[in-house]
Amino acid sequence: MTIKKQQKEQSNKLMKIAINHIKAPFAFYLLAFALIIASCSPKVVQPYAVTNKVYLTRTDSILQVIAQQQPVALTDSTGAPIPSSFVGTVNFNARKPNYVIIHFTAQDSAAQTLKTFTIVKTQVSAHYVIGRDGHVYHMLNDYLRAWHAGVSKWGSITDMNSCSIGIELDNNGSEPFAPAQINSLLSLLATLKKNYNIPASNFIGHQDIAPGRKPDPGPFFPWQTLAQHGFGHWSDDVLELAPDNFDPQTALRLIGYDTRDLSAAIVAFKRHFIQTDQSPQLTQLDLNVLYNVYKKY
């Protein structure tokens, strides 16, 4: 069966689910959602025809879960059931991503990463992979939860996968990023920012949300260029002196860093905002940059 036929069947199946289980406008919403998924025509047919079919099966099962009209099952402190029933509201839409997390793949090619993300045993994925040549591989619908952040924390958010888009850049971790790749990234970020109304502060790196555990996208990543386009922040050219009573730990925490391991948080901050030095000490210049950056959050 061709991918197009599979998608048509998938689309028909989803329409039936919507029509059988629900009434407009919920049906309208689900139909739109199904059509969005069905219209995501895969750019890479071979050798991913089999995994694309698995993708359709998984999205099908997720839509069936969404369409369920089972009320929550609760019991009181004595174990007796609390009466509950399902009354569907007519006013809702899908939850939107509110963060973008940028990664490097630490692999040698985009093909290697596509393989990694289409093998079940790795248990990792991202919404997008961008090749060095600028080719964008869209691997998961933006409304679904990719497995790219892992154990992470930003502010009080501990489930970054549930609120973010993950973008992986084909880069081995110790080399500059290709200009074509960054150009494609900037286009993609502009689209995501517009589609989901993501604030500038919420474009961050894996290193920021998992200090001490993850080094990506590392000191070669052009955060300054991104900030100039409205994605993330960068320090101003002219820096004010950090005041004597300036508390760097509180500033890092207010930006979003997990400061339970302060040294790791400082290194993560410096990988992002200093880049030329990644020691766990803060020089006067580092403090001035931190003071400047924290006022932007």
Complex with Zn ion: residue 210 or 255, whichever CB lies closer: 210
Q: Is position 270 an interface residue for Zn ion (rule: CB under 5 A)?
A: no
Complex with Zn ion: residue 103 or 272, whichever CB lies closer: 103
Stretch near Zn ion under the rule CB under 5 A, chosen from 7-15, 100-108, 177-185, 270-278: 100-108
User: Please, what is the minimum distance in Å from the beta carbon of residue 289 to Zn ion?
Assistant: 24
Q: Which of 206, 233, 270, 272 binds Zn ion (CB under 5 A)?
A: 206
Q: Is position 103 an interface residue for Zn ion (rule: CB under 5 A)?
A: yes
User: Please, what is the minimum distance in Å from the beta carbon of residue 29 to Zn ion?
Assistant: 33
Complex with Zn ion: residue 51 or 161, whichever CB lies closer: 161
Annotated catalytic, 9? no
Unique residue bearing structure tokens 């089972």: 70
Q: Is position 271 an interface residue for Zn ion (rule: CB under 5 A)?
A: no
User: Please, what is the minimum distance in Å from the beta carbon of residue 103 to Zn ion?
Assistant: 3
User: Please, what is the minimum distance in Å from the beta carbon of residue 221 to Zn ion?
Assistant: 11
Report how many residues bind Zn ion under the rule CB under 5 A: 3
Complex with Zn ion: residue 29 or 147, whichever CB lies closer: 147
Unique residue bearing structure tokens 């059509």: 35
Tokens of 297: 């959050």
Complex with Zn ion: residue 161 or 288, whichever CB lies closer: 161
Q: Which of 9, 168, 175, 240 is catalytic?
A: 168
Stretch near Zn ion under the rule CB under 5 A, chosen from 3-11, 24-32, 121-129, 201-209: 201-209
Unique residue bearing structure tokens 């089999």: 50
DSSP letters for the chain:
--HHHHHHHHHHHHHHHHHHH--TTHHHHHHHHHHHHHT---S--TTTHHHHHHHHHHHHHHHHHHH--PPPPEE-TTSPEEP------S--------EEEEEE--SS-HHHHHHHTT-GGG----SEEE-TT--EEE-S-TTS--S-S-S--BTTB--HHHHEEEEEE---SSSPPPHHHHHHHHHHHHHHHHHHT--GGGEEEHHHHSTTT---S-TTS-HHHHHHTTSS----SS-PPPPTT--HHHHHHHHT---SSHHHHHHHHHHHHT-S---SS--HHHHHHHHHHHTT-
User: Please, what is the minimum distance in Å from the beta carbon of residue 161 to Zn ion?
Assistant: 12
Q: Is position 216 an interface residue for Zn ion (rule: CB under 5 A)?
A: yes
Complex with Zn ion: residue 103 or 193, whichever CB lies closer: 103
Site for Zn ion in 48-87 (CB under 5 A): none
User: Please, what is the minimum distance in Å from the beta carbon of residue 176 to Zn ion?
Assistant: 18
Would you tell me which residues interact with Zn ion (CB under 5 A)? 103, 206, 216
Catalytic residue positions?
168
